[in-house]
A and B are shown apart, each in its own frame.
Chain A
Amino acid sequence: MQEAQSTQGHEHEHRSDTVILPAPTPWPMVLALGVALMITGMVTHWVISLLGLILTLRAIVGWFFDIFPHELHVAVPVQTGVMKISSTRTTREQLPVSASHRQMLPVETFSVVSGIKGGIVGGLAMIVPAALFGLLKYHSIWYAVNLLAAGGFVSWASETTAFLCQFHLEGLLAATGIHAFTSVLIGLLYGAMLPMFPRKPILTAGFVAPLLWTGILYSALGIISPVLNERINWLWFVISQIAFGLVCGFIVNLQVKVRTPQFRALPFAVRAGIHSDQPLTKDDEL
């Protein structure tokens, strides 16, 4: 910081044909050597440490007088001339889109934020099949809630089904937290995938994302939540996931910005990125 300020300060005072830079100095190197030798002495011989100490002290003094009372500078002369910003590659043609186009393909897509919104609404929607499952099978809407919460309470591992069917405030809170957090995360991940599949958000969200997530969970659930792992009904799980995904995709679709015709008009090879309009040899000639 200090150097920075003084450099800039000087620059305004001086003529513009020189630049003021900090002067070269041996003391940082000597100080490093001194410190290193002090430590080396610990594994060799105390005399080495002594030598290191002497170098260290000398370097500290030297460094001090580099900066006080005045920081040492050198003035480096600048020769200004005219340099052209141009390139060998500028002969390349633009893609067959409008000439002013800036190569921001995919041109329009959904934002990451729309993924998050989708995640939130999808998370809400997912509660319906989950609660329905509990209601049908155990006659309690709290079953699914408590099952999810059990991921956070190791002590619930040995609890009975009856226990899981009752209402527990801490269960509701924990489940809400876990569920909200994961829903937003999935939404986020999903939002990041969207640029790759801008045309079929419902398909992406409805099936691809839930299947990915279910796969990961399936392999890991044994440790994330042993309780859940033991009692989970994978059919209903997947149904809930797909409910999440479809709603999420629907919501995202509402956020759609119209995709510019530029993108859809491009041939597939260009959209997939395998198209280059110049033979490679051109590049080799650099």
Chain B
Amino acid sequence: MTTTPVLEAVDETLETQGKPPLNVIYEWLTTVDHKKIGLMYICYALLFLVIGGFEAVLMRIQLAIPNNHFVSPQVFNQLFTMHGTTMVFFMGMPILFGMGNYLVPLMIGARDMAFPRLNAFSFWVSAFAGFLLYFSYIGGSGLYAAGSAPDVGWFAYAPLTSKVFSPGHSTDYWTLAVFLSGIGSIGTALNIVTTILCMRCKGMKMSRMPLLPWLYLVMSGLVFVAVSPLTAAQIMLTFDRYLGAHFFDTQAGGSAILWMHFFWIFGHPEVYVLVLPAFAFANEIIPVFSRKAMFGYPAMVAASVAIGFISLSVWAHHMFTAGLGPAGNTFFVFATMVISVPTGIKIFNWLATIWGGKIIFAVPMMFMVGFLFQFLIAGLTGIMLAAAPFNWQLSASYFVVAHFHYVLVGAIVFSLFGAFYYWYPKVTGKMMDETLGKWHFWLFLIGFHLTFDFMHIPGILGMPRRIYTYEDGRGWNTLNFIVGIGAIFQAVGTLILVYNMIRSYYKGKEAGHDPWDAWTLEWSVPSPPPSYNFAIEPTVNSRRPLWDLKHPEDPDTDYE
């Protein structure tokens, strides 16, 4: 194993130590550096993760025993609306955009995003949108009146959102906050697409680009086409509520189904907007910890692009019970099943990457194994739900809640946690503590399965979702209690993660620039990277530029 000297930079201009705090704050408020913006995205999303998680725990406490009066029905409705909205719009999307912001330019060998100022603007708009949503707790019925958070569900079905059923401003808070965050999302998506298409370093053809930027490219494309209709729908709903239009008012010839179409044309691709970056992290972490090159790179790219397209054509599987007629149902069942093909390709390629590798079970890899396993199960219950007759039985039951949390938590959050452990050394220059990491992993894994495995059963036994309490003697008691315990396990695990992140920042071992012996460009710069990323813009000759540097006697270039 030889080492090759590379020209690198030490940057001192942006060191914050010793500067007056006001200057530091000003620096962050005015920054256009993609890494700082990425970090701000991640911090603000973590704040909302804690808030959304807290709401989840409150809901589970309420449901832990029958006939509970811990919260009122109104408060429960607000809790699940705020939880869903927060997790999707103010935790999921921002945290993934934050990771993308940080990683994409580094991985493609660029100095910054294509539009650095737009990048800052997009971040701040999204952040203010989150604050606006939570301001509803203070100002829901107008300034100074007692607050009321939105309570119409994160999908805000018409006609529940009409003035008649939702007087006051709580629903407006939901609409306007989501609208505002949509502006930020579209801006960031535009930025990521342009950056990837135009700013790659020398020699980085699309066919040599790491898979993470590829997936962010597909994801950003989806954000474009999916969030735009949602934004349009938000404007229509605002017209309905402020100007007396009747887009969704069935009494006046409008259509509630129209809202459903608009919402799910956004809503289903949104699931893939959230899950594609999770795939992206898996694509980077699994090969490194299996000590093998990614298996089937071209198939992975093709499958990702295919998933992007197919996910646009399946939205109405959320509407089987709305009565679309047999032709419609048939189409959407079929389209939904088709998506299992590219997804299957991905799973098999990950397994083939692990297959025969020298697996290193460091914490990031442990989370990836959890991700693979749980994503598989989520896929299976997904296929069950895609079959319309089955869906007819279980739609709006807890089975559905269990299924989508398998995707949202079991796949996305697990992959995200793995990514935190993996890239933390790059971002801070310190290693995270492995022992605490293992505690986090096991607590979270056990908690996850206690909560969401058991949640399927009351669903099959007929427990509907979105109920604030239930009667004794239906056979749901023990199950719900276990589910609640699991939620608390997960909360504790997450708090350990937060503690680990803070502690390691001050006390962690020095990481060096390449602690995992990885292959992509971000590991060729110092940790943390200087503001200009690369002192000399890199040139790459293969998909694993660092492998080539470390193994000049056997570079990848010869094999591609």
Contacts and interface: CB of A to CB of B under 8 A. Distances in A.
B253 interface: no
Contacts of A222: 387-389
Given A88-B512, A196-B348, 4 more contacts: A1-B194, A44-B143, A78-B535, A223-B387
Interface stretch (A18-26, A124-132, A169-177): A18-26
B386 A44 contact: no
Interface in A21-59: 21-29, 31-33, 35-36, 39-40, 42-45
Nearest to A87: B517
Interface of A: 1, 3-4, 7, 16, 19, 21-29, 31-33, 35-36, 39-40, 42-45, 63, 66, 76-92, 95, 100, 102-106, 109, 112, 151, 154, 185, 188-189, 192-193, 195-196, 216, 219-220, 222-226, 263, 266, 270-278, 280, 283-284, 286
Given A28-B120, A76-B532, A90-B1, A43 B172 contact: yes
B129 A276 contact: no
Nearest to B338: A185
A24 B27 contact: yes
Interface string B525-560: 010001110011000000000100110011010010
A196 B125 contact: no
A78 B11 contact: yes
B356 interface: yes
Given A81-B9, A82-B8, A189-B344, A29 B357 contact: no
B517 A89 contact: yes
B359 interface: yes
A65 to B, nearest CB: 12
B349 A195 contact: yes
Given A32-B128, A195-B352, A87 B514 contact: yes
Contact of A83 (B8, B31, B386): B8
A51 to B, nearest CB: 13
Which of B6, B9, B123 has the most chain A CB atoms inside 10 A of its CB?
B9
B111 A21 contact: yes
Interface residues of B, number: 118
Which of B26, B199, B553 has the most chain A CB atoms inside 10 A of its CB?
B199
A66 B120 CA distance: 14
Contacts of A91: 1
A286 B431 contact: yes
A208 to B, nearest CB: 13
A273 B345 contact: no
Interface in B185-215: 194, 198-199
B273 to A, nearest CB: 21
B299 interface: yes
A188 to B, nearest CB: 6
Contacts of B8: 80-83
Contacts of A76: 11, 13-14, 530-532
A193 B347 CA distance: 9
Contacts of A263: 356
What 7 A-B pairs are tightest by C-beta distance, nearest first? A105-B356, A32-B124, A36-B128, A83-B8, A28-B121, A192-B345, A87-B517
Given A3-B112, A87-B517, A270-B356, A42 B349 contact: no
Nearest to A220: B387
Interface stretch (B57-65, B262-270, B326-334, B447-455): B326-334
A193 B344 contact: yes
Given A89-B517, A225-B330, A39 B180 contact: yes
A271 B514 contact: no
B515 to A, nearest CB: 6
Given A154-B327, A189-B341, A43 B139 contact: yes
Given A21-B531, A44-B139, A4 B199 contact: yes
B292 interface: yes
Nearest to A11: B537
B116 interface: yes
A25 B124 contact: no
Contacts of A277: 358
Interface of B: 1, 3-14, 26-27, 29-33, 110-112, 114-118, 120-121, 123-125, 127-129, 131-132, 135-136, 139, 142-143, 169, 172-173, 176, 179-180, 183-184, 194, 198-199, 242, 290-293, 295-296, 299, 303, 326-327, 329-330, 333-334, 337-338, 340-341, 344-345, 348-349, 351-352, 354-362, 383-384, 386-390, 431, 434, 509, 512-517, 524, 526, 530-532, 535-536, 546, 549-550, 553-554, 556, 559
A88 to B, nearest CB: 7
Contact of B550 (A28, A40, A90): A90
A9 B390 CA distance: 60
A103 B172 contact: no
Contact of A28 (B5, B13, B117, B242): B117
A87 B341 CA distance: 38
Contacts of A92: 291, 358
B176 A26 contact: no
27 contacts: A24-B30, A26-B26, A26-B30, A28-B117, A39-B180, A40-B132, A80-B535, A80-B536, A81-B7, A83-B6, A88-B512, A90-B1, A92-B291, A92-B358, A95-B358, A105-B356, A112-B299, A189-B341, A196-B355, A220-B389, A223-B333, A224-B334, A275-B358, A276-B358, A280-B361, A283-B360, A286-B515
A266 B13 CA distance: 53
A156 to B, nearest CB: 11
A31 B132 CA distance: 16
Contacts of B291: 92, 103
A28 B124 contact: yes
Contact of B349 (A45, A103, A192): A192
Given A43-B176, A81-B8, A103-B292, A88 B515 contact: yes
Contacts of B176: 39-40, 42-43
A154 to B, nearest CB: 5
B341 A188 contact: yes
Contacts of A225: 330
Contacts of A219: 384, 387, 390
B32 A24 contact: yes
Nearest to B31: A24
A91 B291 CA distance: 13
A109 B351 CA distance: 14
Contacts of A266: 356
Nearest to B129: A36
A170 to B, nearest CB: 15
A179 to B, nearest CB: 13
A199 B270 CA distance: 39
A257 B123 CA distance: 51
A11 B431 CA distance: 34
A109 B295 CA distance: 11
B291 to A, nearest CB: 6
Nearest to A19: B532
Contacts of B1: 86, 90-91
A188 B303 CA distance: 11
Given A19-B535, A216-B337, A195 B295 contact: yes
B479 to A, nearest CB: 25
Contact of A21 (B12, B139, B303, B532): B532
Contacts of B125: 32, 35-36
A1 B517 contact: no
A30 to B, nearest CB: 9
